[in-house]
Amino acid sequence: MPWCPKCKCEYEEGVKLCADCKIELVDSLEDIIEWKPLIKTTEEEQIIQVKEYLEYSGIKNVKYEKIQDEDGEEEDQYYYAIFVTEKELEESIKFLKGYMLTKAEEKKEQENEEDDEEEEITNEYETENYNDDTALKDLKSSVYTFGVIGAALVVVSILSLLEVIVINFSNKYLFSGLLLAIGIAFVIVAINSAKRIGNESNKITNRDNDINKIIEWFGEKYNLDDFADKYELNFEDLDEGAIYYLVMDKLKLIISNQFVEMDKKIVNTASEIIYEKMNTQTH
């Protein structure tokens, strides 16, 4: 006997449509598929990808529908939903979780690649701190600060142990030992910083000498317009930022060809200084 797949009413043989639901009858209740919602979204492309993934994973009965969102703020607002059979619902949920996890990993990898590209672009224009001895001053300050405080703590701890000065503490040996340990640690930091001062000073001197060497070699031959004419750079319709990168790339190429072994950041710094000089001459 035929049955209505929606209202599950039984009909006599020969009847094709349900009188109430107006849909085709099926031969048996076993032919009725109980569709269960799996996922919904406003992105049709995403729904199609999920459907294809489920079918590829072996889910036999998958369909998606475009459904009007009656709760939406706008009229004619729709969403897309995927339905699977009740029998395959549990397995479909597992596959869906795997799909979402894979997509999340792909998104993370893409973000990491974009971050790497952005960092690479940044590094291409990374410069040194020309005529800047801040790092050296910081080291000297560390030597003085840690040295004075460390020495003071060592002296106080020794005087406390010798009972030259009295510190009201339940266990003076523990307290004095702690002060001594901290003081020695501070002194060690001061000594290590002092050792680095010479290396840092040489590094700063060599850095500035290399930058000056490049600047002196290039000279003050051009303003921006003359430079553009000589090397056939077209500034037309370019804003200041675009002109900067165009000129910088050309300067770095010229300097790198002349100073082959020079560190990239040194080349970038010299190029930026030369650009600023040319830009000043132009204005």
User: Which has the higher per-residue pLDDT, 172 or 40?
Assistant: 40
Q: What percent of the chain has pLDDT over 70?
A: 91
Q: Give every CB contact of residue 268 below 8 A, 6+ residues apart in sequence.
A: 124, 125, 126, 127, 128, 248, 252
Q: Please list the alpha-helical segments (H only) found in the chain.
A: 44-56, 89-124, 134-161, 172-218, 224-230, 240-258, 264-282
Per-residue pLDDT tens for 222-238?
778 888 888 888 888 88
Residue 40 CB neighbour total at 10 angstroms? 15
Please state the rounded mean pLDDT for residues 30-55: 84
- Average pLDDT of every residue of the chain: 84
- Kindly report the length of the chain: 283
User: Which has the higher per-residue pLDDT, 160 or 183?
Assistant: 183
Strand arrangement of the beta sheet that strand 62-68 belongs to: 35-41, 78-85, 62-68
Is the pLDDT reported for residue 119 higher than 80?
no
* pLDDT given for residue 30 in this prediction: 65
Task: Look up residue 89 and give its two tokens.
Answer: 């619902």
Q: Identify the burial level of 155 via C-beta atoms within 10 angstroms of its C-beta, where 0-12 means exposed, 13-18 middle and 19 or more buried.
A: middle
Please state the rounded mean pLDDT for residues 49-56: 89
* pLDDT given for residue 152 in this prediction: 92
6 and 18 Cβ atoms separated by less than 8 Å: yes
Q: Model's pTM, two decimal places?
A: 0.46
Q: Give every CB contact of residue 64 below 8 A, 6+ residues apart in sequence.
A: 47, 48, 51, 80, 81, 82, 83
* pLDDT given for residue 118 in this prediction: 59
The angle at the Cα of 169, spanning 166 to 172, to the nearest 5 degrees, equals 70
Q: How confident is the model at residue 1 (pLDDT cuts 50, 70, 90)?
A: confident
* pLDDT given for residue 120 in this prediction: 52
* pLDDT given for residue 175 in this prediction: 82
Residue matched to tokens 């600060």: 145
Provide the residue type at 252 as one letter. K
* pLDDT given for residue 6 in this prediction: 78
Is the pLDDT reported for residue 201 higher than 80?
yes
Q: How confident is the model at residue 151 (pLDDT cuts 50, 70, 90)?
A: very high
Per-residue pLDDT tens for 67-86?
887 776 666 788 889 999 88
- The values of phi and psi at residue 247, to 5°, are -70, -40
Please state the rounded mean pLDDT for residues 104-121: 70
Helix (H) or strand (E) holding 50: helix 44-56
Q: Give every CB contact of residue 13 below 8 A, 6+ residues apart in sequence.
A: 1, 2
